């Protein structure tokens, strides 16, 4: 195999032609990409602006905006005692009321003695062994929520409390 050597002028011309061809190809690709991106952005802005010019149709039934939750802690903690298998047992529970209407929650504060009485009676009527399970605690929380909601509905005429939450629960 013989190596062919080209005269010096011919070899330089072929190298420049190959370099210029690659450079032109890169420039064409860059211009095409910039043009594609520009058309994409322009089309997006055109269609977004077109949608903004139209008058929106009025909503038939707009959902009310959900207010942020407000928590009211019931202090001091509730402490009740149980007689379980001949032993004296105690339960201490700290509660928070979750509401979304601060004015209605203020109306409910007037009836706090009645609310606390209902909850003490509810807590003291529970079975200690049932409360020791997670299912029993959740059932008690749901009962407390229902009791508070019923009392609030009766006294204020509206559903004030969305949930009753245990923030501390101790059985001894």
Read off the pLDDT of residues 116-148 as tens digits, 9 standing for 90 and up.
Answer: 999 999 998 888 888 889 999 999 999 999 999
Confidence of residue 5 (pLDDT cuts 50, 70, 90): low
Q: What is the pLDDT of residue 3?
A: 55
Distance CA 109, CA 162 (A): 15
d(CA 98, CA 145): 10
pLDDT digits (tens, 9 = 90+) for 69-88: 889 898 899 999 888 788 88
pLDDT of 83: 80
What average pLDDT is seen over the chain?
Answer: 82
Residue 153 predicted with pLDDT over 70? yes
Token pair, residue 40, equals: 């994409």
Q: Which two tokens stand for residue 119?
A: 């909850």
CA–CA distance, 32 with 34 (Å, rounded to integer): 6
Give the C-alpha separation, 54 to 91, whole Å.
62
Separation of CA 117 from chain center: 34
Average pLDDT (142-171) is 91
- 60 pLDDT more than 60: no
Judged against a pLDDT cut of 80, whether residue 152 lies above it is answered with yes
**Contacts (Cβ under 8 Å, ≥6 apart) of 155:** 108, 111, 114
Q: What is the pLDDT of residue 35?
A: 87
Q: Which residue has the higher pLDDT, 164 or 46?
A: 164
Short-list 76, 151, 154, CA closest to 114: 151
* Residue 57 structure tokens: 């149709």
Tell me what pLDDT residue 126 has: 86
Q: What is the pLDDT of residue 119?
A: 92
pLDDT at 59: 55
What pLDDT does 12 receive? 52
| 149 Cβ contact list (under 8 Å, min separation 6) | 159, 160, 161
| Confidence (pLDDT) at 114 | 92
């Amino acid at each position: 195999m013989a190596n062919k050597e080209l005269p010096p002028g011919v070899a330089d011309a072929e190298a420049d032609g190959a370099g210029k061809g690659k450079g032109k190809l890169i420039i064409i690709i860059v211009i095409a990409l910039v043009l594609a991106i520009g058309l994409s952005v322009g089309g997006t802005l055109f269609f977004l602006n077109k949608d903004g010019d139209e008058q929106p149709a009025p909503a038939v039934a707009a959902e009310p905006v959900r207010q942020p939750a407000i928590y009211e802690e019931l202090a001091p903690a509730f402490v009740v005692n149980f007689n379980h298998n001949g032993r004296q047992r105690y339960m201490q529970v700290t509660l928070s009321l979750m509401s979304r209407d601060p004015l209605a929650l203020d109306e409910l504060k007037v009836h706090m003695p009645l609310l606390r009485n209902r909850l003490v009676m509810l807590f003291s009527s529970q079975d200690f062994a049932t409360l020791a399970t997670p299912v029993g605690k959740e059932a008690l929380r749901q009962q407390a929520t229902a009791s508070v909601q019923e009392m609030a509905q009766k006294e204020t005429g509206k559903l004030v409390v969305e949930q009753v939450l245990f923030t501390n629960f101790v059985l001894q």
